[in-house]
Structure 1
Amino acid sequence: MSEPYAAAVASAAPAVSEAPFNAVYLAIGAAAWAVACLKVRAWRRDPSAGLLVVALAIASPATSFLMAAPVVYRLIDRVAHVGNLATLLVYLGITGFSAATVVLALIWTPPGERSGDRIWDASSAVTRRRIRQRLAVFAVLAPLMAALFAAGRAGSPETPLTFDTTFATVPAIACFLVLYQGVFAFALVDIGRVCLGHAARLPDGWLRRGIRLIAYGSVTACGYVLCKITAIAAAAVGTGGLDWLSTAAGPAFAAAGALLITAGFAGPAGAAWARRRRDYRALRPLWDLVYRADRRLALEAPPARWTERLALRDLEWRTTRRGLEIRDGQLTLRPWVDPAVVDGGLRIAARAGLDEAERAALVVAAGLRSAVAALDAGRPPLPREEQAALPGLDADPAEERAHLVRVARGLDGPLTEEALATARTP
């Protein structure tokens, strides 16, 4: 064995229990991959450069965490017959995250500069040139890292947890490690800066919280870089007693940062999913009302209540379809809407001090209930000139769903009952 490798073996850190690292790394990797799959699914529904970059920014470190788990690390080495090869793959995965976040920082459109709902913008010539420049750097960096790793011949001993400090005295490996940590630090600072700037311009809500979590996760992960660089430098100059920075403190910062970043990417999407599911279920009473009036409105019979409670997929499509069927039902029921109920609803809304949105919901809820009651009683439809116009039919698509949800929640409300009772009073 040559002198550098003998020194490396002699300076290897004491054995560290691998069980906690297996549990934490595999859990984080699996959770992050679940979020990445959701982003890929969203990208397939709405192809955009931004969603694809986000998916890559999550999938790359997720894969690295899985490979960094000692049980997987050793499996990779055995299959490839190359000691510590997993270290190179892990660090290349994190470098992929760095590349994705650098691009993300370039194409993330500031809220004040957006056109409509566009969040990602890679259309300008300046932005495209910057992206090409950054990616060109990473295109050179990845093979350079692989070359340095190969030149260091750090195949033995196998060190899934202590590679950095074990081989810090090998010049090629030291350059490999410093290069990786430097690029990672640059990416963390870049995406953290951009996220904090965006969050400051956004209204309070899940999107703002998510972007802040990404920023906080990036800052936290910088602690990993600081711990690693300190431990590597100490090992390179022969200073003992600081290996814990590489084997304990650094991984702790990395895990905490990864959790925050993953939560930041997942939070807004999870909140949007929960909102769609809440709206889908909230519309059920209103949908039942119009379906009872005309069963031809729906593509299929009402799902069982327990089936609806378990609905987890295609919620946007289901909710949109339910809203369209309700709209068709509202138009079908219009000839039977009692104008006295509409007038009574307007008076009650004014007396209760309801805002415009709540007033419209009350009038529609009371009007539709009066129409269904008229149909059940066998009353003839009103002539067109006597039909009451219900508000909300010309609502903006962005507001339409919220309007229908308000109507559904007010169907059995006390003000709706009062409007119906007022109309029945001689």
Structure 2
Amino acid sequence: MSEAPFNLVYLGIGTVAWGVAGLKIRAWRRDPSPGLLVVALTIAAPATAFLVAAPVLYRLIDRVAHRGNLATLLVYLGITGFSAAAVVLARMWTPPKERGDAQVWDGATADTWHEVRRRLAVFAVLVPVMTVLFFTGGATAPETPLTFDTTFATVPQIALFLVLYQALFGFALVDISRVCFGHASRLPTGPLRSGIRLIVLGGLIACGYVLCKLIAIGAAFAEVTGTEWLSTALGPGFAALGAVLITAGFAGPAASAWARRRRDYQALRPLWDLVYRADRRLALEAPPSAWTERLAFRDLEWRTARRGLEIRDGQLTLRPWADPEVVTAAALVARRAGLDDEDRAALIVAAALRGAAAALNEGTAPRPREDQVPLPGLDAGPADERAHLVRVARYLYAPLTGEALTAAATTTG
């Protein structure tokens, strides 16, 4: 059997999964929480197992350790680590009605920790038992990175070791799939719901690996031939597909949130440029170049939040030059265009800020405080503020905004 496809698939999956785990660990370091740490461990443990299972690394580990098939124990302990973390994760799920934000893996109450400790106690007992069974089984030769299960299933200690491993893994897959399935339907449509459903699908597909392995192990123990392909081909196929879907389920919502932050950061640039030209003291640094903006991949939450704060300061700076006629004209244009309340507010603010910037540049005297026109959206809460500013930025140079400014100029003239 060629080992090249297994090297390619296992190393690829392990590397990608470790990349996702690294992002989760980084997020946990920024915002420490037990739930986020468990998510990171749930991804890192099987990622390590896939890397070690690649025949090229499998043989390297055995040579360094001077013990054949030691890598098998490391692989199965890695998957067992996933099983333990997945069971904990399932217990730490917070139902949608019981959380006040978008955090899913949170809400570790005293009852939660009680259930977690009970389940971890099972792993704490069985992992040492599995280790003892492996070493007493004497499965050191031949070295079998792909056929260990069916080669050594005739040894009672190894057979029991394999059954315990598959039982823990299968239980974890069913448990987390059951919990995720029960709550996914209560989540609003979006990346988070899609990600949770991918975890469910991946867990159920990975159960095919457990089933194939148990059949092959049982057949080998009974010295029945002809079922080895279940262990060496079909089972790993189920495992690889399940791992890809579970990893995508964990990574998808985070990737979507990152893309949204980057999109918002770039969308705010025209509005930020407008207020920066009005008062350059508002910004901590000069405007980044177009290439710097396109290549912005890190610290997007901080950059976007800072840009939003500077825009808010710029709005307050420009407010004395905002023309009530522009606000009135923008409201009429929005009504004729059939805009909803959020787009109407954004159009009014965009037109008012463009008119105010032009008036400031022309040297128009500012209005006294009592004559200043209030602009919508200034009292928006933190959760709605960014979305409002992004809308304003998109309306800043839209045709409707130009129409409102033209109508106001005609009225004034």
How far off its partner does 1:122 sit?
Answer: 4.6
Q: TM-score, normalised by structure 2?
A: 0.98
Structure 2 residue aligned with 1:33: 18
1:80 to 51, 59, 65: 65
What is the alpha-carbon distance in structure 2 between the residues aligned to residue 275 and residue 115 of structure 1? 21
Q: Describe the superposition over 1:180-236 as per-residue Cα deviations: whole angstroms up to 9, x where unpaired.
A: 000100000000001111111111111000000000000000000011011111111
Output the amino acid matched with 1:335. P
Structure 2 residue aligned with 1:364: 349
Q: Measured at CA, do residues 269 and 117 of structure 1 come closer, stay the same or move farther in structure 2, by a change above 3 Å?
A: closer
1:209 to 194, 198, 201: 194
What is the alpha-carbon distance in structure 1 between the residues aligned to residue 285 and residue 123 of structure 2? 53
Structure 1 residue aligned with 2:79: 94
Output the amino acid matched with 2:30. R
How far off its partner does 1:113 sit?
Answer: 1.9
1:169 to 154, 173, 179: 154
The answer to whether 1:266 aligns with 2:251 is yes
Q: Secondary structure at the match of 1:403?
A: helix
Q: Describe the superposition over 1:294-347 as per-residue Cα deviations: whole angstroms up to 9, x where unpaired.
A: 000000000000110011000000000000000000000000111110111111
Unaligned runs of 5+ in 1: 1-15
Structure 2 residue aligned with 1:346: 331
Structure 2 residue aligned with 1:55: 40
What is the alpha-carbon distance in structure 2 between the residues aligned to residue 21 and residue 396 of structure 1? 52
How far off its partner does 1:116 sit?
Answer: 4.2
1:411 to 373, 393, 396: 396
How far off its partner does 1:121 sit?
Answer: 3.8
The answer to whether 1:200 aligns with 2:185 is yes
Output the amino acid matched with 1:390. L
How far off its partner does 1:385 sit?
Answer: 1.4
Q: Is the 8 A contact 1:122 1:128 kept in 2?
A: no
Output the amino acid matched with 1:382. R
Output the amino acid matched with 1:219. L
Q: Describe the superposition over 1:109-148 as per-residue Cα deviations: whole angstroms up to 9, x where unpaired.
A: 0112224444334542221111111111111111111000
Structure 2 residue aligned with 1:152: 137
Q: Measured at CA, do residues 256 and 117 of structure 1 come closer, stay the same or move farther in structure 2, by a change above 3 Å?
A: closer
Output the amino acid matched with 1:292. R
2:295 to 310, 315, 318: 310
What is the alpha-carbon distance in structure 2 between the residues aligned to residue 125 and residue 278 of structure 1? 40
Structure 1 residue aligned with 2:208: 223
How far off its partner does 1:407 sit?
Answer: 0.4
What is the alpha-carbon distance in structure 2 between the residues aligned to residue 351 and residue 129 of structure 1? 60
2:281 to 296, 315, 335: 296
Moved over 2 A (4+): 115-125
Unaligned runs of 5+ in 2: none
What is the alpha-carbon distance in structure 2 between the residues aligned to residue 68 and residue 124 of structure 1? 37
Output the amino acid matched with 1:85. L
Output the amino acid matched with 2:255. G
Q: Describe the superposition over 1:333-369 as per-residue Cα deviations: whole angstroms up to 9, x where unpaired.
A: 0001111101111111122221110010000000000
Root-mean-square deviation over aligned CA pairs: 0.9
Structure 2 residue aligned with 1:329: 314
What is the alpha-carbon distance in structure 2 between the residues aligned to residue 121 and residue 68 of structure 1? 32
Q: Is the 8 A contact 1:341 1:420 kept in 2?
A: yes
Structure 2 residue aligned with 1:142: 127
What is the alpha-carbon distance in structure 2 between the residues aligned to residue 312 and residue 123 of structure 1? 32
Q: Secondary structure at the match of 2:379?
A: coil
What is the alpha-carbon distance in structure 1 between the residues aligned to residue 352 and residue 20 of structure 2? 44
Q: Secondary structure at the match of 2:285?
A: coil
What is the alpha-carbon distance in structure 1 between the residues aligned to residue 165 and residue 207 of structure 2? 13
Q: TM-score, normalised by structure 1?
A: 0.95
Q: Secondary structure at the match of 1:82?
A: coil
Q: Secondary structure at the match of 2:185?
A: helix
What is the alpha-carbon distance in structure 2 between the residues aligned to residue 207 and residue 118 of structure 1? 10
What is the alpha-carbon distance in structure 1 between the residues aligned to residue 295 and residue 107 of structure 2? 39
Structure 2 residue aligned with 1:11: none
Q: Measured at CA, do residues 288 and 122 of structure 1 come closer, stay the same or move farther in structure 2, by a change above 3 Å?
A: closer
Q: Is the 8 A contact 1:210 1:263 kept in 2?
A: yes
The answer to whether 1:392 aligns with 2:377 is yes
More displaced 10-residue stretch of structure 1: 302-311 or 112-121: 112-121
Q: Secondary structure at the match of 1:201?
A: coil
Q: Describe the superposition over 1:224-280 as per-residue Cα deviations: whole angstroms up to 9, x where unpaired.
A: 001101111111111111100000001000000000000000000000000000000
Structure 2 residue aligned with 1:243: 228
The answer to whether 1:64 aligns with 2:49 is yes
How far off its partner does 1:374 sit?
Answer: 0.4
Q: Measured at CA, do residues 123 and 60 of structure 1 come closer, stay the same or move farther in structure 2, by a change above 3 Å?
A: closer
Q: Describe the superposition over 1:361-418 as per-residue Cα deviations: whole angstroms up to 9, x where unpaired.
A: 0000000001110011011101111111111110011110000000000011111001
Q: Is the 8 A contact 1:344 1:423 kept in 2?
A: yes
